[in-house]
Structure 1
Amino acid sequence: MKIGLGLPISDPARLPEWARRAEAAGFASVALLDRLTYDNPEPLIALSVLAGATTSIRLQTEVLLAPLRATAVLAKQVATLDRMSGGRFTLGVGIGGRADDHAAVGVPLRRRGALMDEMLADLRTIWSGAPYPQTPIGPTPATPGGPPILIGGFAPQALARVARFADGFLCAAPLQWAGGLVRTVQDQWAAADRPGRPRLVCQINAATPATADRAQAAAASYYAFTGREGWGAPISAPTQLADTVAAYAAFGADELILYCYADHPDQVETLANTASEGLSQRVMGESAN
């Protein structure tokens, strides 16, 4: 299982340092979330900067709120980022659920699923070089056919999109709830006669002991709209975090993203070491069996 790092959103100017340190520490990817009516960096622009600050680490949106964008413009932005990063970009998308985000661009909440279905089909058309609607839109992505697409969500309609349009599933549900979602995605993948299996990328919120209080406060602010106290609380105890990493590896995740809410990049190396301990636990557990 690979380990990725979800970047904090409170101080965009520090993100290049985060990305460089994540690459040096051995993380497989860096990811950014997306909101519109919130004080966060626009993820495609931010990841473009990080592409220039790094050489090998993958760049991922997790998740980009696709219905808030115009299809042709998004296709061009994504193809440009994929081309200029040397094919290092993964497009994670979702429909979102915040009325304020959608109201800001005039997209009705009830239409967001249908809009994304249309968009996902059209993105592949554009990236193939076919006319859209009457003329091609460049540049051609570095990745043939366009970058990998991952779809995040919880509702049945969101899960069904994975087999129809995507390369994998972004599972943000806690591990105790994730099994049913993943089985549904895998069953629909098989029913659609897709080869292999969908890539599975999971995520948890994480912090180091030294940043736990700041991370907790930042996460509580971000998730306040849920009305659920403690929702999204980061895991900061090293033993618990290592055990959680081991559990996701045993679950069969292809990648686990550790999302950070405290903005100090000194935690990068500590989180990398703790994640490595968790992966080692998994390996030792397999050897014992």
Structure 2
Amino acid sequence: MRIGIGLPNQVRDLSPSIIPRWAARAEDAGFSTLATTGRYAYPGVSDTVALAAAAGATTTIGLLSAVLLAPTWPSALLAKEIAGIDGISGGRLTLGVGVGSREDEFVVPGHGLDSRGARLESDLATYRDVWSGNPVGNGPNPAVPSGTRQVPMLFGGYSAPTLNRMVRWGEGYIGGSLPPAMTAPSFEAAKRAWQRAGRRGAPKLVVLAYFALGDTETGRANIQDFYRLAPEGIAANVVLCTTPAMIEQSIADYSDLGVDEIIFVPATDDLDEVIRLADTLPRKERVR
């Protein structure tokens, strides 16, 4: 199993300047991936800004949005943003996509909560079209440089349409920061959907888990604040690892479920958390 680490982009009132320093330190520590958490109606830093900062501060570590609320964006604009970040990183970005559930996240006129699923279906085709270098708007020009690649996508969510999008457009599935017993059915459903669709191999499976190894009380308070308006079944069951033993147990549990990568998402913006997490793991566990 590969071990990644989140960026603290959605810790309430973080200092944004910490993001590139966090990214560089995580790469030096040998983590496989840097991931963002998507949300807009919250005092943090957006996925695209955080990922761009991380792309510029690193050279080898993978980048992932886990997950970006795609239907809150105009599709061609998001496709251009994602292509630019991927290009700056040298092709290290994976776009993790979700539809969102909170009405206050949908701030762009014409891109509201209603019909977000149907809108995403059209958006996904637009992403591919933009990344292919086809002209945008009514003019002759593409939105991206020649040589732009098709950015790989993962999908997060708990509905049947999520799995349908995954098998048609994606490379795998992202599970939320819930206990293994609650996420295991989603991973099994993703694998079944992949097989039924006739996709080769198996879907990439990624899971999230929060951690706070330093100031655990602040970390717990931050998680409660972030999920204060989330559905009760999610808010009450979010996983927060506060000891090395809990980190090790999470890795063992998800290894048993056949998950390919676990991303430990920080509950605080304390830069020393990167090393605290790294010190719980042999370096080979982060990159193998």
TM-score normalised by structure 1 residue count: 0.89
Contact 1:220 1:233 in 2 (8 A): no
Equivalent position amino acid for 1:137 in 2:
P
* 1:10-35 per-position Cα deviation (integer Å, ceiling 9, x unaligned): 22211111111110111111111111
Q: Give unmatched runs, 5+ long, in structure 1.
A: 284-289
Which residue among 239, 245, 251 is the counterpart of 2:251? 245
**Distance across 2 between alignment mates of 1:16 and 1:189:** 36
* 1:60-80 per-position Cα deviation (integer Å, ceiling 9, x unaligned): 111111001111111111111
**Distance across 1 between alignment mates of 2:236 and 2:281:** 23
User: Does the residue aligned with 2:38 lie in a helix, a strand or coil?
Assistant: coil
1:193 counterpart = 2:198: yes
**Distance across 2 between alignment mates of 1:77 and 1:41:** 15
> Cα offset for 1:275?
3.9
> Cα offset for 1:7?
1.7
Tell me the C-alpha RMSD between the 2 structures.
2.3
**Distance across 1 between alignment mates of 2:23 and 2:125:** 31
> Cα offset for 1:139?
2.1
Which residue among 158, 164, 171 is the counterpart of 1:154? 158
Q: Could you say if the C-alpha distance between residues 279 and 79 of structure 1 is closer, same or farther in structure 2, counting changes exceeding 3 Å?
A: closer
> Cα offset for 1:57?
0.9
User: Does the residue aligned with 1:109 lie in a helix, a strand or coil?
Assistant: coil
Report the count of equivalent residues.
279
Kindly indicate which of the two structures has a greater share of residues assigned to helix.
1
Q: Could you say if the C-alpha distance between residues 227 and 164 of structure 1 is closer, same or farther in structure 2, counting changes exceeding 3 Å?
A: closer
Question: Comparing both chains, which one has the higher relative contact order based on Cα–Cα distances under 8 Å and sequence gaps of 6 or more?
Answer: 2
% of aligned pairs identical? 34
Contact 1:160 1:185 in 2 (8 A): no
Which residue among 183, 187, 212 is the counterpart of 1:182? 187
1:166 counterpart = 2:144: no
> Cα offset for 1:263?
1.0
Q: Give unmatched runs, 5+ long, in structure 2.
A: none
Contact 1:205 1:233 in 2 (8 A): yes
Contact 1:66 1:93 in 2 (8 A): yes
* 1:79-117 per-position Cα deviation (integer Å, ceiling 9, x unaligned): 111111100111111000001112554433231001111
Q: Could you say if the C-alpha distance between residues 230 and 186 of structure 1 is closer, same or farther in structure 2, counting changes exceeding 3 Å?
A: closer
